[in-house]
Amino acid sequence: MTELMVTDVLVVGEGAAGQTAALAASEEGCDVIMLGDGRPPSTAVSTGFLTFAAHDRFDRGQLFEAMSQVTGKGLCDSALLARLLDEAPKVMAEVIAAYGIPVDKVERGLRARRAVNKSGRDLLYGLETEYAKRDTVEDITGLMMEFSSTHGTALYAQLRKAVKASPGIRRLRGSALVLDPGSTMVGALVDSKPVTIIARSIVLATGGLQGLFEFTDNPETLTGDGHGMAMDAGAALVDIEFMQFYPLAVREEGVPTLFLYPDFPKLSTLTNDNGENVLTKHLGEGSQYLSELHNWDQLAAVVQTEIVEGQGVYVDFSETKSTDWAPDSLTGTFLSKCVPTFMSVPVRIAPSSHYTVGGLKVDVDGRTSLPNVYAVGEMAGGVHGANRHGGTALVDAITFGRIAGRHAARNLGGNAAGRNTSLLPPPRKAGRKAQVADLMGNLRRTNQFALGPIRDGARLQSAGERFAEFREEALSFGWNNYTEMQEVLRVQRAILLSDCMRRAMFRRTESRGVHCRSDFPNSSDAWLKKQVVALRDGEFHFDEIAVGRSNARATSHA
Ligand SMILES: Cc1cc2nc3c(=O)[nH]c(=O)nc-3n(C[C@H](O)[C@H](O)[C@H](O)COP(=O)(O)OP(=O)(O)OC[C@H]3O[C@@H](n4cnc5c(N)ncnc54)[C@H](O)[C@@H]3O)c2cc1C
């Protein structure tokens, strides 16, 4: 029996974007359901930089130039970017004041203030008793939260406190799985039971697609539930070929894929199995130490080139002394707990998927191509173009979260009133015993190799053949209950979304921003356009939108 729930605004996902949207909708007087699956959000592990025109030393013009040209490489959606830059100072000031987010001024904006000497667990649960047992954001401990809070944890904890204190927000623990095409109903599992939620506006905020890769510095559970659900309902995605990688994530057996935040000492180097200095090898004699390199996308491509050629790559801290390390260094704290030999034995690393630059196509109010359905935060795309400028993701999530939450509340529509429909697939299906973890592992490895920081046509093509096999396998899976059904649905969508990215990467026969093709190493003016993709009758349909020369100066990819 499917339970029915009714609300004005349904928000799916409880990272920075979802929480801000829920608070904004609730402050407009709406009844809000916030559905969170209890899995860790990127927000809680982020490093809390908030890059926007927050003070005189860093203005809108500088940021526009930096985002649209230096990083976005001419592909930013100029209307979205203008809205973000215009609204961010006001929205961020409101949010920081209203929810008591502690911040410090930094060169390019603000930074959430880290609660030093507190673990993430302390910060999230220390003040709470009511939710501490029920509210399981436990997997975070598998990442970094066990040892140390990050700046992002502090920001997340304040938003969470505000959401919990808001009488207009009902928090439900569960996963949204199906979006009814053409209506504003969602099929979900809430506390493992099937529920249909009828809303008048829906805000999707389920984060990025980084969990589709073998190595990610994000929670690996971010595999695109929201993208898959929206795509199945007919929504369009944009810029989906642009996936940002961080070059230095720990790849040691039994250690979580920790992100080596660059607060390590200056004399840290990068070596390979042959003992070569990888920076000198690829970038010339002038490049010896990691501290000399500021282009992380270029570094990710260098590391991946070594790995694809069969080399292990390592960060070597042996030239550093313990006194060179800042006492509150995030990298130092994590490594001393997880890889205690790190000062003498080089630490194996790999590029980790870090940020999904593309996502659901939205307008300046956060509306997707589906009526009364919004997308915010990392699951929305378009504003960053070919690459994201550092520190702008949280500002994007919070600014558009607030814009979309308000807009959704002021423009309630919806057309599902009174319908009581079970939207989920049936709880049982005959078929092979589902080996979801194995299949997901194979998919992630294929993606890391073929869709990683360096791509070429041949590898992308052979990944397509693998995906066809994966799809067959996933379709043959049966299930015996809703939980198993959810796992099968997730892996099916993970394959679909991987294939969607792959096709977009294959079509873009140039290198631009974080899309790096070794067989097309230069940028091409012919590709000054965005790709928009939607599913129709089970097939991907691509459209191209020219951005015009005024939006972009020709760029060449280093
Ligand atoms: C290590 C690291 C450092 C970073 N540092 C910075 C920084 O300094 N500055 C910056 O601007 N950005 C930074 N970022 C990026 C930034 O943290 C993210 O882009 C941002 O937090 C995304 O917020 P979000 O709300 O869109 O998604 P998330 O915070 O990822 O939240 C999405 C939530 O939705 C849940 N969810 C998924 N599917 C479902 C479903 N079907 N039903 C219900 N819930 C679901 C997920 O489990 C998750 O809890 C960093 C990221 C990482 C990983």
325 secondary structure, DSSP code: S
What values do phi and psi take at 517, rounded to 5?
-110, 120
Ligand 1 atom nearest 376 alpha carbon: 26
Residue whose Cα lies nearest atom 40 of ligand 1: it is 175
Provide the pLDDT for residue 126: 54
CA 179 to chain centroid = 21
Closest approach atom of ligand 1 to CA 14: 33
What is the C-alpha to C-alpha distance for residues 347 and 530, in angstroms, rounded to an integer? Answer: 38
- Domain-wise residue ranges, the chain: 3-242+357-410, 244-354
Partner residues linked to 381 by β-bridges = 361
- Confidence (pLDDT) at 551: 53
Comparing C-alpha atoms, which of 74, 83, 154 is closest to residue 385?
A: 74
Distance CA 236, CA 252 (A): 38
Short-list 147, 156, 155, 154, CA closest to 332: 147
Closest residue to atom 15 of ligand 1, CA basis = 393
- Nearest alpha carbon to residue 338 among 268, 262, 258, 263: 258
Q: What are the average pLDDT values for consecutive 10-residue runs of the chain, which has 558 residues? A: 92 97 98 91 90 88 90 95 96 97 93 79 56 41 55 90 95 95 93 94 98 91 95 97 95 84 91 95 89 85 93 96 88 87 96 97 97 97 96 97 98 71 92 96 97 97 98 98 96 98 98 96 96 96 82 38
Q: Which among 263, 438, 244 has a CA at the least distance from the CA of 351?
A: 244
The 3-state DSSP class for residue 536 equals strand
Can you say whether the dihedral through the CA atoms of 13, 15, 17, 21 is positive or negative? positive
Does residue 420 contact residue 482 with C-beta atoms inside 8 Å?
A: no
Which atom from ligand 1 is nearest to the alpha carbon of 13? 34
The pLDDT, as a whole number, for residue 255 is 82
Q: Tell me the three state secondary structure of residue 481.
A: coil
The hierarchical CATH code for the domain 244-354 is 3.90.700.10
The token duo for 554 is 């020709």
Do 202 and 190 touch, CB atoms closer than 8 A?
no
Using CA positions, which residue lies closest to atom 31 of ligand 1? Answer: 15
Per-residue pLDDT at 422: 85
d(CA 40, CA 48): 16
Evaluate: CB of 380 within 6 angstroms of ligand 1: no
Residue 553 in contact with residue 69, Cβ under 8 Å?
yes
Distance (angstroms) between ligand 1 centre and the Cα of 127 equals: 23
Chain centre distance of CA 302: 23
Q: Are 22 and 169 in contact (CB under 8 A)?
A: yes
Ligand 1 centre to CA of 496 (Å) is 21
Specify the pTM: 0.93
- Ligand 1 and 14: CB distance under 6 A: yes
Closest atom of ligand 1 to 19 CA is 25
Sheet of strand 539-546, all strands in order from the earlier edge strand to the far edge: 380-381, 359-361, 237-238, 529-536, 539-546
N- to C-terminal Cα separation, the chain: 58
**What pLDDT score was predicted for residue 143?**
45
What CATH number should be reported for the domain whose range is 3-242+357-410?
A: 3.50.50.60
CB 320 within 8 A of CB 312: no
Report the C-alpha gap between 338 and 254 in whole angstroms. Answer: 9
> In this predicted structure, what is the pLDDT of residue 549?
52
Helix, strand, coil proportions of the chain in percent (round to 5)? 35, 20, 40
Per-residue pLDDT at 138: 38
Specify whether the CB–CB gap between 451 and 210 falls below 8 A: no
Cα–ligand 1 centroid distance for 41 (angstroms): 5
Tell how strand 185-190 and strand 347-356 pair up: unpaired
550 CA distance to ligand 1 middle (Å): 32
Residue keyed to tokens 């280093």: 558
Give yes or no for residue 396 CB within 6 A of ligand 1.
Answer: no
